[in-house]
Amino acid sequence: MKIKIKNREGVKVIVIISILSFAVMSLGSSGDEDLLKQAKQIFGPLPQVIVSEKNPVTPEKVKLGKMLFYETRISVDGTVSCSRCHPIGLYAADGLRKSIGNNCKLNPRNAPTLLNAAGQISGHWIGNRIDVEDQAKQSVIGPFSFGMPSYEAVEKKLKGIKGYAAPFKTAFPMDNNPLTIDNFAKAIGAFERTLVTPSPFDAFLEGKTATLREREKTGLKSYMEAGCTMCHFGTYVGGQTYQKFGISEPYWKYTKSEPIDEGRYVVTKNEADRYVFKVPILRNVEKTSPYFHDGSIDKLEDVVWIMGKIQLGKDLDKSRVEEIVAFLKSLTGEIPEDVLKIPLLPSTD
């Protein structure tokens, strides 16, 4: 099987993959300690906050960013906010096959969850966003999302809501002109860097092996043995590499996708990137149906089977699929208390 990896730090990824392959192959004993040892070579527990050198997370930025996350009045038709396609109560995804943005425009792809998303190599399914800050910034002029004509137009709308002057100043105290689109992006990015959801699997990784039930541990073994870890590895259980979707067979044979999405080729125009997508993170995957870049599949069991079939060339049987799903459900985490609190927005007048 040919594995194609795209990464800004290609060498590093190859090294990681080698370690992972070794780790999976050497998995022998069924004891908890052995399982933990193997798992720790592949995965890592979540941090409290996903830090960024470019955008240090401060309480003031997070507070402002959370307000802006719910702000519809900066979209061209007044109905779109980050929360519209990433509602926190639905684990920051929207339950739609493809999201619907301003003026009923259909997004080309499914809205991935924003929970833990700041830990990924890039944003969006095709990796055309650098990080969560870039994603927040570009979304306001995205034709399928907020649909605004320019960044200046967004700044003007924000300045029109007088109650935003003070929280921007507080969040960016050194700036003479704090209310800018870049600070808007930084504030939302800072908030998104707090969307971290520790799960039973994290407790397991931290040594509390009894946190996972036997079925979940069996599932973890199956997950590693089947080779899911070749792409879905690391702290975020994915999100670190790009990969062709449909290695052994075309994906649309199983997803019945219409139209066929060329993936990262759209960004790079490089033939090698045709049907290549960013590997999604699997944290909270239980909660974010429907699945795949086009939301074509509803059931997690079907997803696991299809992935085995077209990525690994394996026809996983029902019990193996169910075990893996049991493990995946242990990745469902707790949303921080503060994230679950609705911010009050300044009034329009």
Residue 167: what are its φ and ψ, rounded to 5°?
-65, -30
- Cβ atoms 234, 44 nearer than 8 A: yes
Comparing CA positions, the residue from 232, 266, 260 lying closest to residue 246 is: 260
What is the closest distance, in whole angstroms, from the C-beta atom of residue 195 to a copy of itself in the complex?
A: 12
- Cβ atoms 195, 92 nearer than 8 A: yes
Please give the Cα distance from 223 to 219 (Å, whole number): 6
Please give the Cα distance from 102 to 100 (Å, whole number): 7
What is the closest distance, in whole angstroms, from the C-beta atom of residue 12 to a copy of itself in the complex?
A: 34
Q: CB-wise, 47 or 290, nearer to a copy of itself?
A: 290
What is the closest distance, in whole angstroms, from the C-beta atom of residue 172 to a copy of itself in the complex?
A: 22
300 membership: H or E segment, kind and range: helix 300-311
What secondary structure does DSSP assign to 158-219, as a single string?
HHHSGGGHHHHHHHSTT-SS--SHHHHHHHHHHHHTT-----HHHHHHTT-GGGS-HHHHHH
Q: CB-wise, 108 or 343, nearer to a copy of itself?
A: 343
Q: CB-wise, 130 or 165, nearer to a copy of itself?
A: 165
Which residue is associated with the tokens 């570009």? Answer: 138
What is the closest distance, in whole angstroms, from the C-beta atom of residue 334 to a copy of itself in the complex?
A: 10
Secondary structure letter of residue 93 according to DSSP: S
Do β-strands 242-244 and 276-278 pair in parallel, antiparallel, or remain unpaired? antiparallel
What is the closest distance, in whole angstroms, from the C-beta atom of residue 264 to a copy of itself in the complex?
A: 27
Q: CB-wise, 26 or 103, nearer to a copy of itself?
A: 103
Q: CB-wise, 88 or 316, nearer to a copy of itself?
A: 88
Comparing CA positions, the residue from 42, 61, 44, 43 lying closest to residue 52 is: 61
Binding site for a copy of itself (CB under 8 A): 67, 70, 72-73, 77-79, 84, 87-91, 94-96, 100, 103-104, 286-290, 298-300, 335, 340-345, 347-349
What is the closest distance, in whole angstroms, from the C-beta atom of residue 290 to a copy of itself in the complex?
A: 7
Q: CB-wise, 250 or 290, nearer to a copy of itself?
A: 290
Q: CB-wise, 203 or 335, nearer to a copy of itself?
A: 335
E-assigned strands of 58-177?
A: none
Please give the Cα distance from 139 to 228 (Å, whole number): 31
Q: CB-wise, 35 or 136, nearer to a copy of itself?
A: 136
Secondary structure letter of residue 299 according to DSSP: -
What is the closest distance, in whole angstroms, from the C-beta atom of residue 304 to a copy of itself in the complex?
A: 12
What is the closest distance, in whole angstroms, from the C-beta atom of residue 299 to a copy of itself in the complex?
A: 6
